[in-house]
Amino acid sequence: MGVNIQPVSIWANGQSKEASELDARIIYDDLATSCTFYYELKEVLEEGGGSVLSVGNVSMDSEDYQNWDNSNEQAYVYIADKLNLTIA
């Protein structure tokens, strides 16, 4: 379960679609200096379901990693900022 974002247009399979959810998980953390998050931007349909429109990785290191409080909330804020997304 991710967080809702202000919808963004994404070109997927030859069509413009709207992603309205950011889902993320940590895939690497050295517990000292850096970590990497895997993210998915998802289309959510009113009738339920949806699809993944875009995926990728965001790294956190240096001062950002040292200042991170290890919360999911702060991780989502960091990822959204790096992707130029706004959490709704």
Q: How far is 55 from 71, CA to CA, in rounded Å?
A: 21
Q: Find the mean pLDDT for residues 71-82.
A: 97
Taking the domains of the chain in order of start, what are their residue ranges? Answer: 3-82
Q: How far is 61 from 44, CA to CA, in rounded Å?
A: 31
Please write the tens of the pLDDT for every residue from 36-73.
Answer: 999 999 998 877 778 999 999 999 999 999 999 999 99
Query: In this structure, are residues 76 and 24 in contact, taking their beta carbons and an 8 Å threshold?
Result: yes
Res 5 pLDDT > 80: yes
Please write the tens of the pLDDT for every residue from 28-46.
Answer: 999 999 999 999 999 988 7
Largest CA distance in the chain: 43
pTM of the model: 0.92
Residue 6: predicted pLDDT: 97
Res 13 pLDDT > 90: no
